[in-house]
């Protein structure tokens, strides 16, 4: 059965801390891995990763994929209260347009 597992499920940090969110996957015919941020409403797209070892970066957020070990990490440096959200990892497979989602990591950044 295809699955995407995120860890930790929840995380509480203080402003300024650096956090690393994990996503491991076991799917057939892997094509890409996507990270989304979900606040109170619907998810907003952060990154899409298809190649191993190439870091994607946007401001304080960065992500990398390891296709050999079947995982990805999402790093957030110098966290701010506005980073508080649920971070979702999803995987796509060849021949399918569906996203297979993990359960998400709930990040809380306290002032």
Partner 1 sequence: GAVVSQHPSWVICKSGTSVKIECRSLDFQATTMFWYRQFPKQSLMLMATSNEGSKATYEQGVEKDKFLINHASLTLSTLTVTSAHPEDSSFYICSARDSSGIGHIQYFGAGTRLSVL
Distance, CA of 101 to CA of 98 (rounded, Å): 9
| Per CB under 8 A, 59 contacts partner 1 | no
**Gap between the Cα atoms of 3 and 23, Å rounded:** 10
Which of these ranges, 15-23, 38-46, 65-73, 75-83, lies near partner 1 under the rule CB under 8 A? Answer: 38-46
Q: Which of 14, 31, 57, 60 forms a contact with partner 1 (CB under 8 A)?
A: 31
The SS3 of residue 82 is helix
Per the DSSP assignment, residues forming a β-bridge with 51 are none
Nearer residue to partner 1 within complex by CB, 70 or 106 = 106
Residue 35 · residue 46 · CB < 8 Å: yes
97 binds partner 1 (CB under 8 A): yes
Eight-state DSSP code of residue 18: -
Q: What is the largest CA-CA distance in the chain?
A: 45
Q: For residues 47 and 109, which CB has a smaller minimum distance to partner 1 in the complex? A: 47
User: Segment contacting partner 1 (CB under 8 A): 15-23, 31-39, 58-66, 74-82?
Assistant: 31-39
Q: Which residues bind partner 1 (CB under 8 A)?
A: 31-32, 34, 36, 41-45, 48, 88, 92, 97-99, 101-104
């Amino acid at each position: 059965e295809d699955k995407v597992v995120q860890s930790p499920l929840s995380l509480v940090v203080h402003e300024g801390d650096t956090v690393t969110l994990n996503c491991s996957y076991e799917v057939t015919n892997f094509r890409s891995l996507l990270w989304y941020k979900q606040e109170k409403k619907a998810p907003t797209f952060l990154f899409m990763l298809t190649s191993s070892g190439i870091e994607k970066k946007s401001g304080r957020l960065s992500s990398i994929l390891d296709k050999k070990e079947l995982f990805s990490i999402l790093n957030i440096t110098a966290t701010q209260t506005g980073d508080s959200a649920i971070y979702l990892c999803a995987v796509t497979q060849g021949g399918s347009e569906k996203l297979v989602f993990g359960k998400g990591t709930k990040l809380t950044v306290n002032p």
